[in-house]
């Protein structure tokens, strides 16, 4: 990803600020997802065709992960290793989402749309965070 594109997406030409913004956006989206899974696992499970128990288990995990990512985003210079862990976790989540869709989930039409969209969103966060991390190393 070019430095100019990265700067445009983050609305800053400072890679450290870009990384913090991408981490913060990830935290907000992931946290909202986790809270939604906690608060409405039954209705969301029906809508998506996913077991409500699975969503109820994912809710605390996503909320805790979001809190950790938010903490990283609040640091003036997030540690590179911690950002790499977030990137790796996001890539793993995206891949496992697609594997689950193909291997064992039996989603509704909404679930067939939601699962790849959220996987692509998480993969997008990973790509942006990785690009910003690489830019900070220069």
pLDDT at 138: 73
Q: Cβ distance 66 to 31 under 8 Å? A: yes
pLDDT of 13 reads 64
CA gyration radius for the chain? 16
Give 43-77 pLDDT, tens digit per residue.
999 999 999 999 999 999 999 999 999 999 999 99
- Give percent above pLDDT 70 in the chain: 91
Nearest in space to 138 (alpha carbons), one of 5, 16, 28, 54: 16
pLDDT band at 16 (very low <50, low <70, confident <90, very high): confident
pLDDT by residue (tens digit) across 75-90?
999 999 999 999 999 9
pTM of the predicted protein model: 0.87
pLDDT at 137 over 90: no
Report pLDDT for 6. 45
Of 26, 25, 48, the closest CA to residue 37 belongs to 48
């Amino acid at each position: 990803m070019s430095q100019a594109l990265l700067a445009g997406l983050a609305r800053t030409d400072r890679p450290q600020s870009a990384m913090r913004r991408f981490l913060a956006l990830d935290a907000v989206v992931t946290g909202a997802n986790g809270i939604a899974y906690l608060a409405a696992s039954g209705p969301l499970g029906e809508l998506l065709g996913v077991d409500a128990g699975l969503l109820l288990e994912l809710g605390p995990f996503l909320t805790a992960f979001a809190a950790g990512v938010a903490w990283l985003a609040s640091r003036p210079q997030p540690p590179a290793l911690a950002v790499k862990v977030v990137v790796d976790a996001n890539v793993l989540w995206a891949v496992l989402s697609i594997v689950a869709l193909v291997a064992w989930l039996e989603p509704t039409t909404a679930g067939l749309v939601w699962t790849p969209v959220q996987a692509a969103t998480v993969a997008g966060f990973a790509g942006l965070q990785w690009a910003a991390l690489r830019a900070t190393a220069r």
